A = this chain, B = another copy of it.
Amino acid sequence: MKKKIIVDMDGVLTDVYNRMFEMYEKETGRRLTAEDIAGKLEEEAFPDQRRWVSEPGFFRTLPVMEGSQEVLKKLNKKYDIIVVSLATEFPNSLTDKLMWLHEHFSFISWKQIVFCGDKSLIKADIMIDDHPKNLDNFKGKTYIFTQPLNLLINNSRHTRVNSWAEIEKILIS
């Protein structure tokens, strides 16, 4: 039986922080660096992020994380992949996120997609996520995908991965 992997969307498949850096610069004139927001909660780093993500269209046009399409396609053959996104807090995000997945990850079927408000409801063997709160509550093997907001996290239970190329090395090679 194939092992089941929960793959996060924002910050793992979508390069959402890149977009947030852009939004912040557009609205304040100041370009933040990864160091500026290292270890901060999203709402501290980007005080207006709840307004941004509530707007229809925000999630529809996010850039794709480098290497994610090629590697997830390979993982999808070897593992049972489920893309799980915390999305039910923002009603307008749902259809946008689904259409985004259909456009950029067309090999992921609608049966492999979960939008929820609590990832601990989902059964799986492996989790790839950038949010420590999701990983901490997960009982299987955990991979923390490097993003500015988790840079200061040093939980030895979670294996840090800095790119999809690293994920490929660990889970496929």
Residues of chain A whose beta carbon lies under 8 Å from any beta carbon of chain B: 82, 87-89, 91-92, 94-95, 98-99, 102, 109-118, 121-124
Contact = CB atoms under 8 A, between A and B. Distances in A.
| Interface majority SS (helix, strand, loop, mixed), chain A | mixed
Contact of A117 (B111, B116, B122): B111
Given A91-B95, A95-B92, A112 B123 contact: no
Contact of A123 (B92, B110, B122): B122
Contact of A95 (B94, B109, B113, B124): B94
A37 to B, nearest CB: 25
Contact of A99 (B91, B99, B116, B123): B91
A116 B114 contact: yes
A45 to B, nearest CB: 22
Contacts of A82: 121
B110 A117 contact: yes
